[in-house]
Amino acid sequence: MFSLEVYAKSTIKKLLKTALEPVGTTMYVWGGGWGKIAASSKYTTRIGVSPAWKKFYKKQKKNYDYTKTRFQIADGLDCSGYAGWCIYNIMNTVSGKRGYVMPAKNMAYNYAKRGWGEYTEMSKVKNFRAGDIMSSSGHVYIVVGQCGDGSVVLLHSSPPGVQISGTETPSGNRNSQAGKLANQYMKKYFPKWYKEFGNDIKDRTYLTEYNRMRWDISGKSVMFDPDGYRNKTAEQILEDIFK
């Protein structure tokens, strides 16, 4: 078990607002933020968004090919780099301490082992709540919230970059509430990105093939939820964050 004493206290709302900071201005780069480096990479243990990410983004067009930018670690973020950067920024106030980046498949389990929350294997995941860290062998994402039809709005770095996405419904319906919400918010608040890259629906494997770390909000660990996000829908959470 990791010591809790080294961690700052945070809230679910702060996590989601922090995770939104690079949205629409940061490209997906394979290995971005860390490459083959350990958790303490300077790119993912910095406070705030790196100016280099936006600078690189401004040079890209709709035909951006992430396979040609592999390991340009200063130019953008991959899924693990993004999630680790988000966690670092809610846990610290200065740059350069030890970070939280690792292979995506390890993140939910590792974070739970630190005492931050409860780990649930993918076969037992039945619902999704704000702030949940969802990790699999190839990807990691942060839950914004679940919709009435079972679809999920999420934040992640996935080609072409850091974005708000929505999943299909559990039955595979692509005309999902989460998809509509993600599309609506990307179009309204990140219009330049949306015009260039659009927004696609994520398939239902996002609901079935990921292990989960759900934050302990009891006050005994690092996270609180004074805004009641854990009990809100994705639509309610997005309205509150962007108001």
How big is the CA angle at 21 (ends 120 and 201), to the nearest 5 degrees?
Answer: 60
Query: By the 8 A CB rule, do 134 and 165 touch?
Result: no
Above 70 in pLDDT, residue 12?
A: yes
pLDDT of residue 7: 59
Q: What is the pTM of this model?
A: 0.96
pLDDT of residue 9: 85
Helix (H) or strand (E) holding 237: helix 234-242
Nearest C-alpha neighbor of 202 from the set 230, 173, 229? 173
pLDDT of residue 89: 97
Question: Please, which pLDDT band fits residue 229 given cuts at 50, 70 and 90?
Answer: very high
Beta strands in 21-177 (DSSP E): 117-120, 133-135, 140-146, 152-158, 161-167
Read off the pLDDT of residues 107-140 as tens digits, 9 standing for 90 and up. 999 999 999 999 999 999 999 999 999 999 999 9
Above 90 in pLDDT, residue 79?
A: yes
If you average pLDDT over residues 153-157, what whole number do you get? 98
pLDDT of residue 8: 67
Question: Please, which pLDDT band fits residue 37 given cuts at 50, 70 and 90?
Answer: confident
pLDDT of residue 5: 40
Greater model confidence, 235 or 3: 235
Above 90 in pLDDT, residue 161?
A: yes
Tell me what percent of the residues of the chain surpass a pLDDT of 70.
97
If you average pLDDT over residues 48-66, what whole number do you get? 97
Give the span between the Cα atoms of 159 and 66, in whole angstroms: 7
